[in-house]
Amino acid sequence: MLPIDLKGKRALVAGVADDGGFGFAIGKALAEAGASVCVGTWPPALGIFTTLLRRGKLDESLTMSDGSKLDFERVYALDAEYDTLEDAPAEVRESKRYRDHGDFSIQGVVDQMTKDFGEGCVDVVVHSLANGPEVKNVLLETSRRGYLGAIGVSAYSMISMVQRFGPIARPGASFLSLSYMASERVIPGYGGGMSSAKAALESDTRVLAFEAGRRWGHRVNCISAGPLASRAASAIGFIGEMIEYCKVNSPLPEALDAREVGATAAFLASPLGAGITGSVVYVDKGYHAMGKAV
């Protein structure tokens, strides 16, 4: 028997604000494997998320296979658009959606985790973050600001997370991000520079794997997942159509379940994936292998 064993490990999953996305599914899978799980939540959504947790509205989703309930070790405010608090404009820092959350930058979460748990406090870091302010614009109608915004939040933030969490992660830590087929093929309607951001994310995965591997012994991988009707994905406006198209044209003609992405993430983070780094792993029912619609 080869168990996925993450007992004694601590994970941070960045990009969890509800129970419907890949981030939540990954966090739950890591917990099922024995890890303690912290999450990073976008500050404007943090109050609603913690209220749902406190009132038991997510208890059904939090129920583990053994009947126990997943209890997040910490919930941190995190806006990955900002590497440090000083990078956030004053109007953001002082707005009512941010001002009570302390240092919500990437470095702020690093500092708070170090304060909470000490040096060498994390073993798994998951980047489940993406945002394109002009995602509904075709590329020809995307502004420079919108394009760079998509790249910054959806791709550069992974570089920043490896850069900043690398020193406080235990040797052999696993870093993981989430991509999509639009990185390499045209998905009409997936605009605003998001396809470019996903392509950059996958390229950066390979370079970061080399650099973080040589510097700290950490591994860096990426999962290219099929479409999922998460709240975040609804922003593109045609997620249902994407799911159905992939479902009927994939080698396994069925919709993707977020738990399948979670299980793959847990495997990659575990000792069973110790030899895997710099890889983009497809979890999409085989859709990526198809060259012609059925």
Q: Rounded CA gap, 152 and 154, in Å?
A: 6
Q: Rounded CA gap, 250 and 267, in Å?
A: 23
Q: Which of 261, 109, 105 is nearest to 176 (CA)?
A: 261
The residues assigned a catalytic role are 180, 190
CB of 80 closer than 8 Å to CB of 39:
no
What is the secondary structure of the chain as a DSSP string? ------TT-EEEEES-SSSSSHHHHHHHHHHHTT-EEEEEE-HHHHHHHHHHHHTTTTHHHHB-TTS-B---SEEEE--TT-SSGGGS-HHHHTSTTTTTS---SHHHHHHHHHHHH-SS-EEEEEE-----TTTTS-GGG--HHHHHHHHIIIIIHHHHHHHHHGGGEEEEEEEEEEE-GGGTS--TT--TTHHHHHHHHHHHHHHHHHHHHHHH--EEEEEEEPP---TTGGGGS-HHHHHHHHHHHSSS-S---HHHHHHHHHHHHSGGGTT--S-EEEESTTGGG-SS--
